[in-house]
Amino acid sequence: MDILKSLGHPEEIFNLFKFKMGGCSTVMRKLDYESMSESLRTCYLYLNQTSRSFAAVIQALDGELRHAVCIFYLVLRALDTVEDDMTIPMDKKVPMLNDFHTFLYQDEWCFTESQEKDRQVLADFPTISVEFRNLAKEYRDVISDICHRMGVGMAEFLEKKVGSMKEWDLYCHYVAGLVGIGLSQLFSASQLEDPEVGHDTEIANSMGLFLQKTNIIRDYLEDIQVGRAFWPQEAWSQFAGRLEDFAQPEKLDSALSCLNFLVTDALRHVPDVIAYLSRLQNQSVFNFCAIPQVMAIATLSTCYNNPRLFQGVVKIRKGQAVTLMMEATNMRAVQTIITQYNQEILQKVSHSDPTRDKTLRILALIREKSAVSQSNLPSRTAHLSPVYLSAAMLLAALSWQYLSTTAVQAQGTGDMKGQ
């Protein structure tokens, strides 16, 4: 039960309760589905079905940018589904990836043979492509270009493993850095952000690399169990003969050394993340960009030097995620969050860790870049008195089961599936 996992964190219990009562409405806006075309409503249905983390913040974007980003996400989800589907023969998959951007302009193209969980975005691709063609040209050009470049990159890595650290950066660029670049260009095309946001592709790329590397690090065991390998050989070969060895209890010390090596590499993107977020002016764009980034650094803090990563699923608490979602709405709050998780990682750095010196250097740089005057540093629970927190905890505990049921029932009445 989510509330039990947050018992040692009263602010999370308060925010979970607030979340159930609609406290995240600023970043989880309800859309007017009745005013949409049937095909666009279907696209938002697919968005909510296929996205675990981005659906809410996409739907909170302002104006026409919301639809552009929704379609961008679904196009790349369809492309990614082709890449992930191990049942598609290589002689068929490679041309599909290379040519996928051309399918955007083919009215009837679809693929009904996929066995992947998100196969509906391929089977009903005409619904997505027609909404793509309804977008303004400046949005279509960005989406088509990124789709083309990503498909070519995915095809390149189909038949080779991620070897060097440079190849790891390149792979993450193809599957996530290009997403950051494309999104930045969409933000600028919408005129909600300055042209500089779309032009500076280096730090936009870093935004994507930070998220992708965090996911790859966290998903070690899941990937190994299904025969996927995304940890770069240049890293793991320093500590083991095979990547799979890290799952063996007797290899724990080596496993942790490699884990910490990769977390340190991912952390080097945080200064770029801070620079990128500091440029944003539109509130909905800021929320969209900041929330995944603070969740990523919270995840890295949880993963760092954590033996459980090699034994099962490691993720942040739901109460922790909800709290981050509700707090990361301005640059000052984001700096505070980054500083706190940066300090958490610092406290875990072992004197015997082989990457210790490099880790300390990047943590010091992050601390410098995210510096907020300590005298003005807001506590994440300073606005709540102990008595109020205790009352909220008790009320939340007593009401949780009831709210879990009634909230779902209430949401169902407005669910777009019924429209």
Length of the chain: 419
Please tell me the distance from the alpha carbon of residue 104 to that of residue 96, in angstroms, as a whole number. Answer: 12
Shortest CA distance to 53 belongs to which of 218, 188, 174, 258? Answer: 218
Instruction: Give the chain's radius of gyration (CA, Å).
Output: 22
Do 238 and 355 contact (CB within 8 A), yes or no? no
Residue 330 structure tokens: 């301005």
| DSSP states of 133-195 | HTS-HHHHHHHHHHHHHHHHHHHHHHTS---SHHHHHHHHIIIIIHHHHHHHHHHHHTTSS-H
CB proximity list for 145: less than 8 A, separation 6 or greater: 101, 182
Enzyme catalytic residues: 171, 218, 228, 288
Residue 358 structure tokens: 């490099």
Shortest CA distance to 298 belongs to which of 3, 7, 1, 9? Answer: 9
Largest CA distance in the chain: 65
If residue 214 lies in a helix (H) or strand (E), which one and from where to where?
helix 201-218
User: Residue type at 202?
Assistant: E
Q: Tokens 């169990």 belong to which residue?
A: 225
Please tell me the distance from the alpha carbon of residue 326 to that of residue 402, in angstroms, as a whole number. Answer: 23
Do 123 and 81 contact (CB within 8 A), yes or no? no
Do 168 and 269 contact (CB within 8 A), yes or no? no
Name the phi and psi angles at 310, rounded to 5: -95, 5
Residue 109 structure tokens: 């193209």
Q: How far is CA 395 from the centre of its chain?
A: 32
Shortest CA distance to 125 belongs to which of 174, 65, 55, 77? Answer: 77
